[in-house]
């Protein structure tokens, strides 16, 4: 499954995730705002100078500018029911794509002794670990994602690919856990750093 997030959803480390009134309205499912820790892959230009299009294998990985942490914040009612089965709206509200805290190049990651396909990834809410896994558990490795997404489509420099989230999201818990006013959310990825954002109601 592939979907896009609105560019206005992007915020940085330390900025607030703002849950808008429409994502808290009882008539639209109430507040069902969830967290999703994810590895983010930032696309650059191939070393041969070509844009990232129809790339495969090592050529696909050569298009990677760097990696960072991401939180694919999701308003679940809008994702599942409010948009005819399309994910874009429920995941595309303003501030719903925190990324950061910094961009780590592939060379820098390797120099630190890390393999992008085997990094520990965690999500914590108010200090409690909610998600914990490794990127080798992803359904598809980074190279495969780039190869598939670039088929017939130019991934322009600056394109950010979120690679999927581990188990433990709030929607799947019993009882369910939703983000609320004042919550502190952290996404940590080994070799990259910690992305931290506070939640507030807008």
Cα distance between residue 107 and residue 113, in whole Å: 10
Judge whether residue 83 has pLDDT over 90.
no
Q: How confident is the model at residue 144 (pLDDT cuts 50, 70, 90)?
A: very high
Q: Is 1 contained in some domain? A: no
Residues 6+ apart with CB under 8 A from 32: 23, 75, 76, 77, 171, 176, 178
Give the helix/strand (H/E) hosting 143. Answer: helix 142-149
Q: State the chain's mean pLDDT as an integer.
A: 97
Whole-number percent of the chain with pLDDT over 90: 97
Q: Is 149 contained in some domain? A: yes
Domain that holds residue 102: 8-201
Reply yes or no: is the peptide bond before residue 55 cis, omega within 30 of 0.
Answer: no
Q: Is 171 contained in some domain? A: yes
Q: How confident is the model at residue 96 (pLDDT cuts 50, 70, 90)?
A: very high
Contact 23, 74 (CB under 8 A): no
Q: Is 2 contained in some domain? A: no
Judge whether residue 85 has pLDDT over 90.
no
Q: Is 32 contained in some domain? A: yes
Cα distance between residue 1 and residue 52, in whole Å: 20
Q: Is 3 contained in some domain? A: no
Token couple for 114: 């890390």
Cα distance between residue 108 and residue 192, in whole Å: 10
Judge whether residue 21 has pLDDT over 90.
yes
pTM of the predicted protein model: 0.96
Cβ-based neighbour number of residue 28 at 10 Å: 16
Query: What pLDDT is recorded for position 184?
Result: 98
State how many domains the chain has: 1
Query: Mean pLDDT throughout 19-33?
Result: 96
Q: What are phi and psi for residue 199, nearest 5 degrees?
A: -100, 135
Say which CATH number the domain at 145 has: 3.90.850.10
CA dihedral 189, 131, 14, 111 (to 10 degrees): 0
Token couple for 41: 């892959």
Rg of the chain taking only CA atoms, in angstroms: 17
Q: Which has the closest alpha carbon to 161: 33, 39, 22? A: 39
**Is the torsion defined by CA of 90, 43, 159, 1 positive or negative?**
negative
Whole-number percent of the chain with pLDDT over 70: 100
Q: Is 178 contained in some domain? A: yes
Q: How confident is the model at residue 1 (pLDDT cuts 50, 70, 90)?
A: confident
Query: Per-residue pLDDT tens for 145-179?
Result: 999 999 999 999 999 999 999 999 999 999 999 99
Better-scored residue on pLDDT, 57 or 53: 53
Q: How confident is the model at residue 84 (pLDDT cuts 50, 70, 90)?
A: confident
Q: Is 79 contained in some domain? A: yes
């Amino acid at each position: 499954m592939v979907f896009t997030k609105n560019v206005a959803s992007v915020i940085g480390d330390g900025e607030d995730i703002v849950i808008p009134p429409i994502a808290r309205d009882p008539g639209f499912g109430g507040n069902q705002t969830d967290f999703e820790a994810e590895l983010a892959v930032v696309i650059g230009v191939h070393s041969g100078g070509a844009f990232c299009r129809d790339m495969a294998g090592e050529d696909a990985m050569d298009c990677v500018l760097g990696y960072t942490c991401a939180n694919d914040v999701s308003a679940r009612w809008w994702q599942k029911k409010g948009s005819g089965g399309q994910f874009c709206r429920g995941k595309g509200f303003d501030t719903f794509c925190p990324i950061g805290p910094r961009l780590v190049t592939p060379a820098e990651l390797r120099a630190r002794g890390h393999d992008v396909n085997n990094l520990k990834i965690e999500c914590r809410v108010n200090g409690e670990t909610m998600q914990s896994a490794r990127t080798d558990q992803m359904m598809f490795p980074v190279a495969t994602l780039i190869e598939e997404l670039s088929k017939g489509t130019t991934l322009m420099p600056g394109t950010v690919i979120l690679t999927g989230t581990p188990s433990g999201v709030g929607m799947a818990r019993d009882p369910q856990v939703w983000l609320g006013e004042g919550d502190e959310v952290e996404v940590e990825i080994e070799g990259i750093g910690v992305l931290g954002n506070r939640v507030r109601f807008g």
